[in-house]
Structure 1
Amino acid sequence: MSPYLRAHAAYHRDGGPWIPWVDALDFHLQHGVVISTPECFIMARRVVVAWPDHHHLSLRAVMEEDAADAWHVWSAAGALGALLDIARRHPSREITFQRRDERLHRVAAAELFRKAR
């Protein structure tokens, strides 16, 4: 199964998501980044570290590229090494993401790269 299809399946694993996949994908194509390769898939957008958690988790909060200092990963699947290569090409202070538990996770980019060595 391709990384894109794995990300899509994971997004729907627990039933219908609160934001439909095609809406999230369209939003990230317009206001973020979508990268799909045979090795990995990622859908993310630039955010601000200081934003409250709910802004990271909402598709209503959009930041101009030069003011953003973090990436919020909406969906990702595939080889961790390939995902980290993408992250290295798009530097930021922090990477945020959410799992099924609704809580926002924040990881300093430098720490992520250090642990991945």
Structure 2
Amino acid sequence: MSGKAPKQKGNRIERECVNLAKEYGFESKRAWGSDGRSLGWHEEVDMTIECNNMKNLNPIKFQVKGRKSIADYLKPCDEVYGQILKEDRKEALVTIRYKDLLDLFKMIAG
């Protein structure tokens, strides 16, 4: 993919993520032009989710990436909540299904 198509794909995925967060009852915004500076954040911020009942976590900022495929070892299987990944001498990262993350936010926010 080159030119306009990757940008359109990225925009579509960002809108899907924002709309799903809204379906879960959260306020969510997409950065205009996928540039977080339009929301007053770092340029890599693509979207935010507001969890008003969660102290010190407003807004939660995300960068959204769409790929044709993702390595299977990065995907949590159905029997686990998430996948913890640790690169040598780096911080551990977690991958979790987006809907599970939104469910977790709802539980925390009450």
Q: Please, what TM-score do these two structures have when normalized by structure 1?
A: 0.31
Asked which structure has the greater CA Rg, the reply is 2
Q: Please, what TM-score do these two structures have when normalized by structure 2?
A: 0.32
Instruction: Report which of the two has the higher share of strand.
Output: 1
Larger relative contact order, structure 1 or 2 (CA cutoff 8 Å, min sep 6): 1
